[in-house]
Amino acid sequence: MSASAPKTAQQPPRPSTIKILYGESDEQILSTQAGEMTKAGHSVTTALHRRGVQEALRDGSFDLVILGASLSKDDRHHLPYMVKKAHAGTKVLVMHAGTHHHEVDAAIDPSMSMNRILEKIAAVLQPAATR
């Protein structure tokens, strides 16, 4: 009788953790949304207001920067330039339905469900060939 190795259930590969910088001007929204992103398995650094986003960009690098809807229109316009200048390969997702900014990689209506936002996060970071 031949001995065989015990069979182990194969688990699907776990997606790699996405390193996210998430900025908002409203602490309640920031806390709630960041919590949901963390539950989805992402590593989330939060930043309050424009200055917080700028400081976080100086202190670290990220796969994705999300600029929330509670940031001012000026912040959502100027911060993408700052992100790309600080870290050229970083993707930028803006939570605002009507954004047509050349430094923004994706935009999403902030009234969408968190599941839809999480899907958009994953889609933004997929290689261009698979989109």
- Of 122, 90, 78, 97, the closest CA to residue 21 belongs to 90
Structural domain boundaries enclosing 94: 70-131
At 15, the pLDDT band (50, 70, 90 cuts) reads low
Decide if 52 is inside a domain: no
Decide if 122 is inside a domain: yes
Decide if 125 is inside a domain: yes
Q: Is the pLDDT of residue 34 over 70?
A: yes
Decide if 42 is inside a domain: no
Cβ neighbours of residue 34 under 8 Å, at least 6 residues apart? 22, 44, 46
Decide if 131 is inside a domain: yes
Decide if 84 is inside a domain: yes
pLDDT at 129: 41
Decide if 86 is inside a domain: yes
Decide if 1 is inside a domain: no
Structurally, the chain folds into a number of domains equal to 1
pLDDT tens sequence across 44-103: 999 999 999 999 999 999 999 999 999 999 999 999 999 999 998 999 999 986 656 778
